[in-house]
Amino acid sequence: MNENNTTPIQRLREFVKWAQGQGLCKSEYDFERICSLSPKYISNNMHTGKGNIGTEMLGRIIKAFPQLNLAWICTGEGAMTMQGGGDLNADYKQAYEGAMMQVEALNRIIKQLNSKSS
């Protein structure tokens, strides 16, 4: 499957399968529970056709699974997981905060563009 043609929710489902293979969660439902998402969050989002993930949900997911590459989940570009050895928790807080600032800025731009096209 071409990553750039997939939606963030489709990529999230792919990450969940990877996390299951790593023994980090037992199922999609378990993943949702660990991330404090509502039950069936992923499957419901898959079926609505939108396939987007809100910033609050992304924050919950990244806190629970810091190895997920936020750029990949948002754009489909790069590696699915963060690369490199050593301490996986090193600098995650700073990276997370920077990524959330970028997501918020993108959301503001999208809102501005949507209001101009209306």
Q: Which amino acid would we find at residue 54?
A: G
pLDDT, residue 93, reads 59
| Mean predicted confidence (pLDDT) in 39-54 | 84
Q: Give dist(CA 82, CA 66) in Å, integer.
A: 8
Position 114 pLDDT exceeds 60: yes
Alpha-helical (H) ranges within the chain are 8-21, 28-34, 41-48, 55-64, 70-75, 92-117
Q: Which amino acid would we find at residue 70?
A: L
What is the reported pTM? Answer: 0.66
How many residues appear in the chain? Answer: 118
Q: What is the pLDDT of residues 65-90, one digit of tens each?
A: 999 999 999 899 999 998 654 444 54
